[in-house]
Amino acid sequence: SNPSLLILAGDGIGPEVMVEVRKIIDWFGSKRDLTIDVTEDLVGGAAYDKHGTPLHDDTMAHAQEVDAVLLGAVGGPAYDDLDFSVKPERGLLRLRKEMDLFANLRPAQCFDALADFSSLKKELVAGLDIMIVRELTSGSYFGEPRGIFEENGERVGINTQRYTESEIDRVARSAFELARKRDNRLCSVEKANVMESGILWREVVTKIGAEDYPDVELSHMYADNCAMQLVRNPKQFDTIVTDNLFGDILSDCAAMLTGSLGMLPSASLGVPMENGKPKAMYEPVHGSAPDIAGQGKANPCACILSFAMALRYSYDEGAEADRLEAAVEKVLADGVRTADLMQAGAAKPANTSEMGDAVIAALDTS
Ligand code: NAI
Ligand code: MG
Tell me the pLDDT tens digit for each residue of 129-151: 899 999 998 999 999 999 999 99
1-104+264-366 has which fold?
Answer: Isopropylmalate Dehydrogenase (3.40.718)
- Report pLDDT digits (tens) over 253-293: 887 887 678 999 999 988 777 777 789 999 998 999 999 99
pLDDT at 316 over 90: no
Q: Among 94, 288, 337, name the best residue to mutate to test ligand 1's pocket (greatest count of ligand atoms within 8 A of Cβ).
A: 288
pLDDT at 345 over 70: no
Nearest listed ligand to the Cα of residue 283: 1
Burial bucket for residue 264 (CB in 10 Å: 0-12, 13-18, 19+): buried
Rounded distance between C-alpha atoms, residue 92 and residue 284, angstroms: 13
- Report pLDDT digits (tens) over 324-344: 999 999 999 999 999 998 876
- Calculate mean pLDDT across residues 187-214: 98
Residue 347 CB contacts under 8 Å (≥ 6 apart), including other chains: none
More confident residue, 112 or 103: 103
Q: Provide the pLDDT confidence category of residue 111 given band limits of 50, 70 and 90.
A: confident
Pocket of ligand 1 (CB under 6 A): 13, 73-76, 89, 92, 261-262, 283, 286-292, 298-299, 302, 340
**Domain regions of the chain by residue span:** 1-104+264-366, 129-257
- Calculate mean pLDDT across residues 223-230: 97
Burial bucket for residue 147 (CB in 10 Å: 0-12, 13-18, 19+): exposed
> Is residue 77 a known part of a binding site?
yes
> Whole-prediction pTM value?
0.87
Gyration radius (Cα) of the chain, Å: 20
**Ligand 1 centroid – CA 107 distance (Å):** 18
> Is residue 214 a known part of a binding site?
no
**Ligand 1 centroid – CA 73 distance (Å):** 8
Rounded distance between C-alpha atoms, residue 173 and residue 209, angstroms: 9
Q: ω into residue 54 within 30 of 0, thus cis?
A: no
> Is residue 292 a known part of a binding site?
yes
Burial bucket for residue 284 (CB in 10 Å: 0-12, 13-18, 19+): buried
Q: Which long-range contacts (CB under 8 A, 24 or more apart) does 271-279 make?
A: 271/100, 277/67, 277/313, 277/314, 277/316, 278/313, 278/314, 279/64, 279/99, 279/100, 279/101
pLDDT at position 344: 66
Rounded distance between C-alpha atoms, residue 304 and residue 324, angstroms: 8
- Calculate mean pLDDT across residues 281-309: 96
pLDDT at position 321: 93
More confident residue, 259 or 153: 153
| ipTM metric | 0.98
pLDDT at 65 over 90: yes
- Calculate mean pLDDT across residues 98-112: 90
**Ligand 1 centroid – CA 95 distance (Å):** 19
Backbone angles phi, psi at 142, to 5 degrees: -130, -25
Domains 1-104+264-366 and 129-257 share a fold: yes
Average confidence score pLDDT of the chain: 94
Q: Is the dihedral of CA 305, 307, 313, 316 positive or negative?
A: negative
DSSP state of 283: -
- Report pLDDT digits (tens) over 166-177: 999 999 998 998
Sort strands 103-109 and 267-272 into parallel, antiparallel or unpaired: antiparallel
Q: Is the dihedral of CA 139, 144, 150, 152 positive or negative?
A: negative
Q: Among 260, 286, 299, name the best residue to mutate to test ligand 1's pocket (greatest count of ligand atoms within 8 A of Cβ).
A: 286
Rounded distance between C-alpha atoms, residue 321 and residue 305, angstroms: 8
Alpha helices, DSSP H, located in the chain: 14-31, 45-51, 57-65, 88-98, 122-125, 165-181, 196-212, 223-232, 244-257, 301-313, 318-333, 352-364
Rounded distance between C-alpha atoms, residue 64 and residue 116, angstroms: 41
More confident residue, 182 or 32: 32
129-257 in CATH: which number? 3.40.718.10
pLDDT at 154 over 90: yes
pLDDT at 103 over 80: yes
